């Protein structure tokens, strides 16, 4: 083994980020015949975790698969349901409703993207149904159906993807058990101090309130919003994006499940923010994300409580946040992952995805004890692109509103947006094309779903589309729509599909 290899990793914090980091590191490094590396996680029950974070993107499946998790076991233990996308209500205007589904709008009629052919038909026939009718995930969600993708009817059953909705606390416990079983050590205690090498500035140890001192070669800061090491010790600095994403508070409360378990998350725009609804097996998660500059805390709480579709199971809990990102999330031998690295409001369920991305990048760029500054630069560069592309995508949800019924929405419609986003919107409005600024971020169909859902109808479509006979284009859309209807019609109900995992005979 390289003499300079990392021998001990100390993870500060045992929320979703801490355990999502510990699990793959333990899997790869702890208790290995070549000497391995200790993985130690310190958490404090006294401080606790943020305890929200229930809706995910399809990439969570790749993270789980890399750990070798058994999907049925994971679904049972985390009370998970399937997620085909997000239903948006009242965003473009009051009464506006559309679905951002995971996957494409069916296979395309030709070499250009599907929506370009649809635009040609829509310009010719003003009775053309919404593009959403060709999104398999949207149609499954509408009919409350679920079955995993397969290659059975390739034009339909391959054309969608899915993520999960789960209990964040149960997921962290699940990963904790996984990590500990593979050699990670868990230490309960409150960190009161961190030490730095006097010359290099590297973090050398953290000290607990009971006097214990934990040394390490590499420190992962998963301490949540406080950023104990990355900000408290290393003063990374924070880019505050609140002027373009003004929500800064949330009320959350679980309620009893209502009949019919939706295979999707719902986001309903309200006067000064939006309300989420996330169905799990045992309860429904609810929250109201809002800006306290445009409503009162009490008013925001009332909006949440009035909109519940089941009896509240707890007292509402309030959270505050500042949208933005640490200027650097890897400094010297300290890497921040999770809320300590930044936070973008949960409208598209991107926080857990950003944790997956950061953990994957850390493994890809895993350092030795010198922690070369160039590795840190590369980590910070790629994570910067990802955070900013997520930021732009979320701002788009607000900026394109035509709502003018409250001061909040008037502010959102009028606010300046980043140049990258302005370019994205103008390019689509003029030509129907999507500028892919982050190839690993939200893909073209996501932008198309959001832009068209919010009412942007491109003036033109790709001229290559005109090279195809219009009857062939029409035939493609008519045939595909029938096929989608038939295939979705045969799929099981989402609730029944979940019951297949949870009833005793299924294990
Ligand atoms: C309102 C809201 C809704 C959200 N919804 C979603 C969603 O639907 N989907 C999604 O992907 N994400 C969502 N998120 C984000 C998600 O909750 C977080 O990304 C995720 O929980 C990770 O949090 P964390 O582990 O970084 O921090 P935390 O959960 O805050 O954990 C911090 C850990 O650090 C420990 N700690 C801190 N200080 C010390 C100390 N001094 N000594 C010892 N230990 C210490 C704590 O004990 C804890 O274990 C949401 C966030 C908010 C605010």
Does residue 218 surpass a pLDDT of 60?
A: yes
Mean pLDDT of 468-481: 96
Ligand 1 pocket test: which of 51, 224, 304 has the largest number of ligand atoms within 8 Å of its C-beta? 224
Residue 434 neighbours by CB under 8 Å, 6+ apart: 424, 427, 428, 444, 447, 448
Query: Of 239, 195, 251, which is closest to residue 341 (Cα–Cα)?
Result: 239
Task: Return d(Cα 67, Cα 276) in angstroms, integer.
Answer: 29
pLDDT, tens digit, 9 for 90 and up, residues 80-112: 999 999 999 999 999 999 999 999 998 899 999
Contact status, residue 37 vs residue 10, Cβ threshold 8 Å: no
pLDDT at 209: 97
Helix segments in 222-310, DSSP class H: 297-306
Residue 98 DSSP SS3 = strand
- pLDDT at residue 506 in the model: 45
Taking the CA of residue 276 as reference, the ligand 1 atom at the shortest distance is 8
- Among residues 287, 352, 280, the alpha carbon closest in space to that of 318 is found at 287
Average pLDDT in the chain: 95
Report CA dihedral (293, 386, 376, 207) to the nearest 10 degrees.
Answer: 50
Averaged over 325-337, what is the pLDDT?
98
Atom of ligand 1 nearest to the CA of 57: 11
| Per-residue CA distances from 127 to 118, 131, 415, 450 (Å) | 12, 12, 34, 21
Confidence check: pLDDT of 507 > 50:
no
Known catalytic residue: 83?
Answer: yes
* Ligand 1-lining residues (CB < 6 angstroms): 13-18, 42-44, 47-50, 52-56, 168, 190-191, 222-224, 226, 228, 250, 252, 287, 319, 321, 338-340, 346, 349, 351-352
Best mutation site among 14, 15, 190, 357 for ligand 1, i.e. most ligand atoms within 8 A of its Cβ? 15
Specify the pLDDT at position 155. Answer: 78
- pLDDT recorded at residue 235: 98
- Where residue 505 falls among pLDDT bands split at 50, 70, 90? low
Model confidence over 249-289: pLDDT tens digits? 999 999 999 888 999 999 999 999 999 999 999 999 999 99
Nearest atom within ligand 1 for CA of residue 285: 8
What does the pLDDT look like over 408-451, one tens digit per residue? Answer: 999 999 999 999 999 999 999 999 999 988 999 999 999 999 99
Instruction: Give yes or no for a contact between 399 and 412, defined as CB atoms under 8 angstroms apart.
Output: yes
Catalytic pick among 79, 83, 89, 361: 83
Query: For the chain, what percent of residues have pLDDT higher than 90?
Result: 92
Q: Where exactly are the structural domains of the chain?
A: 8-79+166-241+323-388, 103-160+418-490
β 213-215/97-101 pair status: unpaired
pLDDT for the residue numbered 502: 86
- Position 82 scores a pLDDT of 98
Task: Report how far ligand 1's centroid is from the alpha carbon of 224 (Å).
Answer: 5
User: Is residue 297's pLDDT more than 80?
Assistant: yes
Eight-state DSSP code of residue 130: P
pLDDT of 437 reads: 84
Over 50: is that where the pLDDT of 316 sits?
A: yes
CATH class of 8-79+166-241+323-388: alpha beta
Name which residue leads in pLDDT, 158 or 462.
462
Render pLDDT for 349-387 as a digit per residue (tens, 0 to 9).
999 999 999 999 999 999 999 999 999 999 999 999 999
> Once rounded to an integer, what is the mean pLDDT over residues 470-479?
96
Protein residue with its CA nearest to atom 30 in ligand 1: 224
Give the pLDDT confidence of 12-50 residue by residue, as tens digits: 999 999 999 999 999 999 877 777 899 999 999 999 999
Residue with token string 């850390």: 362
| pLDDT, position 230 | 98
Q: How confident is the model over 460-471, as a mean pLDDT?
A: 97
Per-residue model confidence (pLDDT) at position 32 = 77
């Amino acid at each position: 083994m390289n003499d300079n290899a990392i021998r001990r990793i100390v993870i500060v914090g045992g929320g979703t980020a801490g355990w999502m980091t510990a699990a793959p590191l333990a899997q790869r490094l702890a208790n290995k015949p070549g000497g391995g590396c200790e993985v130690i996680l310190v958490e404090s029950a006294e401080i606790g975790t943020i305890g929200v974070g229930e809706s995910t993107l399809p990439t969570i499946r790749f993270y789980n698969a890399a750990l070798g998790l058994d999907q049925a076991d994971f679904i049972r233990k985390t009370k998970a349901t399937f997620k085909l996308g997000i239903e948006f209500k009242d965003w473009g205007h009051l009464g506006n409703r559309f679905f951002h589904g995971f996957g494409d709008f069916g296979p395309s009629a030709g070499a250009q993207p599907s929506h370009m052919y649809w635009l040609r038909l829509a310009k010719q026939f003003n009775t053309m149904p919404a593009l959403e009718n060709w999104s398999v995930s949207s149609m499954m969600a509408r009919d409350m159906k679920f079955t995993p993708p397969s290659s059975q009817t390739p034009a339909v059953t391959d054309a969608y993807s899915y993520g999960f909705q789960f209990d964040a606390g149960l997921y962290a416990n699940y990963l904790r058990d996984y990590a500990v079983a593979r050699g990670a050590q868990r230490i309960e205690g409150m960190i009161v101090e961190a030490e730095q090498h006097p010359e290099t500035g590297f973090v050398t140890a953290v000290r607990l309130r009971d006097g214990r001192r934990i040394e390490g070669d590499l420190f992962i800061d998963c301490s949540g919003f406080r950023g104990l090491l990355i900000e408290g010790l290393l003063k990374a600095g924070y880019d505050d994006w609140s002027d373009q994403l003004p929500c800064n508070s949330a009320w959350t409360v679980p309620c009893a499940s209502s009949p019919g378990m939706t295979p999707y998350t719902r986001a309903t725009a309200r006067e000064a923010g939006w309300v989420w609804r996330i169905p799990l097996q045992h309860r429904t998660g609810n929250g109201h994300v809002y800006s306290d500059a445009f409503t009162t805390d009490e008013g925001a709480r009332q909006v949440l409580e009035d909109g519940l579709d089941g009896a509240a199971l707890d007292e509402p809990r309030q959270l505050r946040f500042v949208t933005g990102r640490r200027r650097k999330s890897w400094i010297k031998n300290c890497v921040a992952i999770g809320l300590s690295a930044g936070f973008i409001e949960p409208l598209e369920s991107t926080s857990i995805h950003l944790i997956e991305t950061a953990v994957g990048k850390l493994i890809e760029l895993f350092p030795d004890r010198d922690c070369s500054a160039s590795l840190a630069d590369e980590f910070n560069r790629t994570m910067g692109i990802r955070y900013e592309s997520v930021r732009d995508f979320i701002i788009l949800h607000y900026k394109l509103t035509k709502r003018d019924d409250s001061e909040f929405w008037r502010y959102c419609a009028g606010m300046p947006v980043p140049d990258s986003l302005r370019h994205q919107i103008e390019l689509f409005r003029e030509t129907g094309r999507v500028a892919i600024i982050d190839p690993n971020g939200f893909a073209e169909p996501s932008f198309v779903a959001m832009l068209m859902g919010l009412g942007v109808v491109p003036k033109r479509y790709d001229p290559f589309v005109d090279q195809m006979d219009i009857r062939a284009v029409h035939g493609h859309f008519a045939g595909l729509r029938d096929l989608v209807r038939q295939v979705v019609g045969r799929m099981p109900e989402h609730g029944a599909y979940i019951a297949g995992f949870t009833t005793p005979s299924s294990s």
